[in-house]
């Protein structure tokens, strides 16, 4: 059987690592004045500079051989055509179908999925236009002013990140809130500021069975009924994005307000589906479609460009070089753009839930490292927090710098400072402080690698392309490591045990280890009357006074 680490290319890369590990990245520039031109490329509105990497021409050629000799061509074709590549869950992986703007059918199980995707797009269009125009009325005839998305993981992070990233395109009389944590203070804090008569809840959950989301949705529903309408009014204030229509209807959501999607859309790949409804509400259906167009453009690039000029493939190979040969444990994501402050959290789930695996697609343990720890935060804030360790610490951390070039009117000087700070950091990481001089114990050694990704502007289209770029990067790495990037058994285990523990809270259970049991006893002391896994929550008070009678809104805290 094929063993990655025994392959000729892997062995060659191991040797190349030994030969080049003491090279200086800056010497590669001295040796080749064309390096920047050769190691940068543009796709649509995105420009990638990958020249500041510890990668000699021979290393790059051999990494490309690794991709050429992998199952990439076959697996990529299988993904786009709807073959079952999520083998453990026996499903196709078709988030690319959601942004497929090409002609022609896409068959899954003998059925063309494009007509239903198109139908749901039209449903999103009708609904988002009705809410944004004020045609959609709440139970007492008022228009919607606040939208609350209730969801977690992939049903929260994508729309949450995108709505914040596209803030400047947002309709100004609609406010957006995202509730994800089962910690009740999260929803309490949001509800306290809202008027139920003008609030719309989107219950976003693929399965409609996730404990956190259901508990938050029930709390929101009680708050609504206690403070405003009757049960019968729930339909005017609650809609759902889910594959589980039955459960959503049982919750009280009208069938026509359930925005469907399908089992072949993975949670962390779902912002292109109905899970993106908050994005369509925020930036309009045209903006939502522009995001899909950007992603589609990146899909076409990924499908057709040769590996040597294929942006997701190159980024994947760079990551593999550091993880598997330089021993890097983490990957930092540093957007120099405040609007992208949720991007590291989004990419963290995308990458770590996808490639945090230690068996291959045949269930055999792997003998190489897989997905890195992905983390980060915005620059220039990060410069004054964790950059010190990156400059002079003992760890080796590759960095992705991300920025958009176009300044906001009125703050051009800020944007200039932002971008020059980013360039200064990327330069400092590579050159260190010893440029032409002697190294003293306190100088920065440099030789620390980074990529720089520039967006012409942070538009819905370019955001779509950026996210699709990272999705495909993660996919390519998964293919080379021969793992299933589309299941998440570790997360499922946590969900199952949480259910078991809460159902045992009222029983003397010997089913858990002594530590869990001891801690459970301590928890029980605080829940003397607890009888079920999901207690009926006490609805937080609204800013309104008695039901249906508007009083002055409680000031936000
Ligand atoms: O985090 C694990 C996960 O299964 C994600 O893949 C998913 O996005 C999230 O839980 C929430 O699940 P659901 O959308 O079914 O509520």
**pLDDT band, very low/low/confident/very high, at 131 (cuts 50, 70, 90):** very high
Catalytic residue among 22, 384, 526, 549: 384
Residue nearest to atom 16 of ligand 1 (CA): 205
Measured in angstroms, how far is the CA atom of residue 102 from the centroid of ligand 1?
29
pLDDT of residue 541 exceeding 90, the answer is no
**pLDDT band, very low/low/confident/very high, at 436 (cuts 50, 70, 90):** low
CA-to-CA dists, residue 218 to 208, 221, 249, 389, 536, angstroms: 12, 5, 13, 44, 8
Atom of ligand 1 nearest to the CA of 151: 16
Class of domain 4-99+290-486: alpha beta
Residue nearest to atom 6 of ligand 1 (CA): 267
**pLDDT band, very low/low/confident/very high, at 175 (cuts 50, 70, 90):** very high
From 204, 208, 209, 210, mutation site for ligand 1 pocket: most ligand atoms within 8 A of C-beta: 210
Give residue 555's pLDDT.
28
Structure-token pair, residue 154 = 């992939």
| 11-41 exposure pattern, b = at least 16 Cβ within 10 A, e = fewer | ebbeebbeeeeeeebbebbeeeeebeeebeb
From 204, 261, 267, mutation site for ligand 1 pocket: most ligand atoms within 8 A of C-beta: 267
The mean pLDDT value for 376-405 works out to: 97
pLDDT tens figures, 109-128: 899 999 999 999 999 999 99
pLDDT of residue 143 exceeding 70, the answer is yes
Measured in angstroms, how far is the CA atom of residue 397 from the centroid of ligand 1?
29
Measured in angstroms, how far is the CA atom of residue 201 from the centroid of ligand 1?
18
Please calculate the CA angle 237-243-245 and round it to the nearest 5 degrees: 55
CA-to-CA dists, residue 338 to 48, 342, 414, 422, angstroms: 20, 9, 12, 13
Measured in angstroms, how far is the CA atom of residue 206 from the centroid of ligand 1?
7
The mean pLDDT value for 242-255 works out to: 95
Least confident of 102-106, 177-181, 448-452: 102-106
Q: Sign of the C-alpha dihedral, residues 292, 344, 261, 105?
A: positive
**pLDDT band, very low/low/confident/very high, at 453 (cuts 50, 70, 90):** very high
The set of residues, in sequence order, having a beta carbon less than 8 Å from that of 427 and lying 6+ positions away, is: none
Residue reference for tokens 């779509």: 464
pLDDT tens figures, 462-474: 999 999 999 999 9
Mean pLDDT of the chain: 93
Measured in angstroms, how far is the CA atom of residue 308 from the centroid of ligand 1?
35
Measured in angstroms, how far is the CA atom of residue 495 from the centroid of ligand 1?
10
Give residue 503's pLDDT.
74
Q: Where are the alpha helices (DSSP H) in 305-445?
A: 311-320, 343-355, 387-392, 412-431
Give residue 173's pLDDT.
93
The set of residues, in sequence order, having a beta carbon less than 8 Å from that of 169 and lying 6+ positions away, is: 282, 283, 284, 287, 459, 460
- Fold for domain 110-283? Rossmann fold (3.40.50)
Give residue 531's pLDDT.
52
Catalytic residue check, 353 = yes
Distance CA 227, CA 242 (A): 26
From 151, 152, 274, mutation site for ligand 1 pocket: most ligand atoms within 8 A of C-beta: 152
Atom of ligand 1 nearest to the CA of 491: 2
Distance CA 268, CA 348 (A): 10
Catalytic residue check, 103 = no
Contact 469, 72 (CB under 8 A): no
Measured in angstroms, how far is the CA atom of residue 507 from the centroid of ligand 1?
29
Task: Enumerate the β-bridge partners of residue 260.
Answer: 242
DSSP structure class, residue 539? P
pLDDT tens figures, 523-539: 888 987 765 444 444 45
Atom of ligand 1 nearest to the CA of 212: 16
Catalytic residue among 137, 145, 341, 495: 495
CA-to-CA dists, residue 201 to 154, 239, 278, 304, angstroms: 17, 6, 10, 41
% of the chain with per-residue pLDDT over 70? 93
Give residue 552's pLDDT.
32
The mean pLDDT value for 212-241 works out to: 95
Atom of ligand 1 nearest to the CA of 270: 8
pLDDT tens figures, 300-317: 999 999 999 999 999 999
pLDDT of residue 102 exceeding 80, the answer is yes
pLDDT tens figures, 42-67: 999 999 999 999 999 999 999 999 99
Give residue 556's pLDDT.
29
Residue nearest to atom 9 of ligand 1 (CA): 153
Distance CA 393, CA 179 (A): 37
Structure-token pair, residue 468 = 């699709």
Least confident of 67-71, 228-232, 359-363, 392-396: 228-232
Phi-psi region of 273 (alpha: psi -120 to 50; beta: other; left: phi over 0): beta
Distance CA 14, CA 483 (A): 21
Atom of ligand 1 nearest to the CA of 267: 8
Atom of ligand 1 nearest to the CA of 154: 8
Catalytic residue check, 237 = no
Residue nearest to atom 5 of ligand 1 (CA): 267
Residues whose beta carbon lies within 6 Å of some atom of ligand 1:
152-155, 205-207, 210, 213, 267-268, 488, 491
pLDDT of residue 342 exceeding 70, the answer is yes
Give residue 557's pLDDT.
27
Atom of ligand 1 nearest to the CA of 242: 14
Catalytic residue among 212, 297, 353, 471: 353
User: Of residues 505 and 209, which shows the higher confidence score?
Assistant: 209
Measured in angstroms, how far is the CA atom of residue 207 from the centroid of ligand 1?
8
């Amino acid at each position: 059987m094929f063993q990655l680490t025994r392959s000729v290319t892997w062995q060659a890369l191991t040797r190349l690592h030994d030969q080049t590990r003491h090279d200086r990245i800056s010497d590669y520039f001295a040796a080749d004045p064309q390096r920047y031109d050769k190691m940068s490329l543009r796709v649509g509105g995105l420009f990638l500079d990958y020249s500041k990497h510890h990668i000699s021409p021979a290393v790059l050629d051999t990494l490309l051989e690794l991709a050429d000799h992998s199952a990439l061509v076959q697996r990529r074709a299988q993904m786009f055509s709807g073959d079952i590549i999520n083998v453990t869950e026996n499903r196709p992986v078709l988030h690319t179908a959601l942004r497929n703007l090409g002609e022609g059918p896409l068959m899954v199980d003998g059925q063309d999925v494009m007509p239903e995707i198109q139908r749901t797009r039209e449903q999103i269009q009708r609904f988002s236009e009705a809410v944004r125009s004020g045609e959609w009325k709440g139970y007492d005839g008022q228009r919607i002013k606040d939208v609350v998305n209730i969801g977690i993981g992939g049903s929260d992070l994508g729309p949450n990140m995108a709505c914040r990233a596209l803030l400047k395109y947002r309709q100004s009389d609609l406010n957006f809130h995202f509730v994800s944590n089962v910690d009740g203070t999260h929803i309490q804090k949001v509800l306290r500021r809202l008027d139920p008569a003008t609030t719309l809840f989107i219950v976003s959950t693929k399965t409609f069975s996730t404990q956190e989301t259901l508990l938050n949705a029930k709390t929101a529903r009680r708050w609504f009924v206690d403070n405003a309408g009757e049960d019968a009014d729930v339909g005017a204030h609650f809609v759902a994005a889910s594959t589980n229509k039955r459960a959503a209807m049982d919750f009280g959501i009208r069938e026509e307000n359930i925005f469907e999607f399908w089992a072949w859309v993975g949670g962390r790949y779902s912002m292109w589906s109905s899970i993106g409804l908050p994005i369509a509400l925020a930036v309009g259906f045209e903006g939502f479609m522009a995001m899909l167009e950007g992603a589609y453009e990146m899909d076409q690039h990924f499908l057709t460009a040769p590996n040597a000029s294929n942006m997701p493939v190159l980024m994947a190979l760079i990551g593999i070089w550091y993880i598997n040969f330089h021993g890097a444990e983490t990957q930092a994501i540093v957007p120099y753009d405040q609007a992208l402050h949720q991007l590291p959290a989004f990419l963290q789930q995308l990458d770590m839930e996808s490639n945090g695996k230690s068996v291959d697609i045949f269930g055999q343990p792997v003998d190489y490292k897989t997905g890195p720890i992905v983390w980060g935060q915005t620059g220039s804030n990060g410069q004054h927090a964790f950059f010190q360790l990156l400059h002079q610490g003992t760890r080796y951390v590759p960095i992705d710098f991300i920025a958009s070039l176009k300044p906001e009117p009125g703050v051009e000087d800020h944007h200039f400072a932002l971008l020059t700070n980013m360039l200064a950091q990327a330069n400092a990481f590579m050159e260190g402080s010893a440029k032409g001089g002697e190294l003293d114990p306190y100088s920065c050694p440099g030789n620390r690698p980074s990529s720089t990704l520039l967006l012409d502007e942070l538009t819905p289209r370019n955001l779509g392309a950026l996210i699709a770029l990272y999705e495909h990067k993660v996919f390519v790495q998964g293919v080379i490591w021969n793992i299933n990037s589309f299941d998440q058994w570790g997360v499922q285990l946590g969900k199952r045990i949480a259910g078991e523990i809460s159902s045992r809270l009222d029983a003397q259970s010997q089913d858990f280890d002594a530590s869990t049991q001891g801690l459970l006893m301590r928890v029980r002391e605080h829940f003397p009357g607890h009888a079920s896994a999901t207690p009926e929550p006490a609805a937080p008070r609204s800013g309104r006074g008695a039901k249906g009678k508007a009083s002055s809104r409680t000031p936000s805290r």
